[in-house]
Amino acid sequence: MQLLAKVTCRTSRLELTTSKRGVIWIDQVSLIPSDTYKGHGFRKELIHMLVDLKPRFLRFPGGTFVEGILLRNAFRWRETIGPWEERPGHYGDVWNYWTDDGLGYYELLQLAEDLGAEPIWVFNAGISRNDQVDTTAIAPFVKDVLDSLEFARGSAKSTWGSVRAAMGHPERFQLKYVAVGNEDCDNTKPFYQGHYLKFYNAIREAYPDIQIISNCDGSSEPLDHPADLYDFHIYNSADDLFLKKDTFSRTSRTGPKVFVSEYAVHVDGDTSKGSLQASLAEAAFLIGLEVNSDIVHMASYAPLFVNDNDRKLALTGFCVFFRTSILIMTVSVIMSEYNEQMDPRCDSLQLLATVWNS
């Protein structure tokens, strides 16, 4: 059943009433504008703000959201495609909320295409925060990823490409980047490198043009496994992030490139909406990335959006706060937009030495 409001009313509410006492079970409920960005379900004002930033890529569906605290609550792409009302949804145990997965794998690929941005698919590597499968049992996960790539890139006559076509997109999505897990390369997750090689070899054989991103940090020591890029995350106080601006000046120029997929000033317990000090530290860190653009291939601020009525993290470090009818840009996003508008043609291909006497 679909109910369409005739006018916009920011204080309205929907009530279901009965003539006598009883229980009403409702499976799926969604409240969205009828007029969305390119008809693909996203609020126009949110996406217009994103368009203004001129994103070159879209990393999805997230970071720890991909893992889950337990594997049973990890993101499963198969369960996020098809008719929305038939998707089972899942419990996002990392951030403690239920998601109906209306924003699924297909919708995120479509959003990247609508933005003219490269999609970067971060998939679960058989590892969550608190559990993981042995490498001897990783084959179903590898098969699952290959199927996801066929869904995105396969012909409309292939098994999974036909599912995509039936959803309204017979053309192949231009998916060229994948990340094997999220923050999985540490001493508490001993199976990651074994898992990674299984994924790497299978993807490289089936899709040799896809760029594969490792979770392991190669900024101080070379990686001991093949990769096209490696992931680097950094959240610090303003003072500490400013001091990290030269991080990649000491990084080897051989081997895989760097993908700084998450960076921001984070202050625990700070529920404000950013600060000038934070944005200046982030700008200094970005300048350090530009100085080392021969090795730093991509970078993105994170997290991007947060619902201000359901904020799970008591810390700074969000780009855009939104509510039902308002948007709040932080100084960080204003600074990023200003830098882009200064010269949108600049790709940091060459650094010129400059001396400034004040």
What are the residue numbers of the active site? 183
Nearest CA-CA partner of 63 in 254, 236, 196, 235 = 235
For residue 135, give the 3-state DSSP assignment. helix
Task: Give the pair of three-digit tokens for residue 67.
Answer: 């893992």
Do 241 and 232 form a contact (C-beta atoms < 8 A)?
Answer: no
Do 288 and 234 form a contact (C-beta atoms < 8 A)?
Answer: no
Q: Give the start-end residues of each E strand in the chain.
A: 57-60, 90-92, 97-99, 118-123, 177-180, 211-214, 229-236, 257-265, 296-301, 305-307, 320-322, 327-329
DSSP-derived secondary structure for 173-232:
P---EEEE-SS--STT-TTHHHHHHHHHHHHHHH-TTSEEEESS--SSS--SS--SEEEE
Cα separations (Å) of 237 from 193, 252, 268, 329, 330? 31, 26, 9, 20, 16
Q: Look-up: residue for tokens 């201000």?
A: 308
Q: Give the start-end residues of each E strand in 54-124.
A: 57-60, 90-92, 97-99, 118-123
φ/ψ (deg, to 5) at 66: -70, -35
H/E run at residue 241:
helix 238-243
Do 247 and 257 form a contact (C-beta atoms < 8 A)?
Answer: no
Alpha-carbon Rg for the chain in angstroms? 22
Beta bridge partners of 299: 260
Beta bridge partners of 119: 58
Cα dihedral 189/190/195/196 (nearest 10): 80
Distance CA 154, CA 151 (A): 6
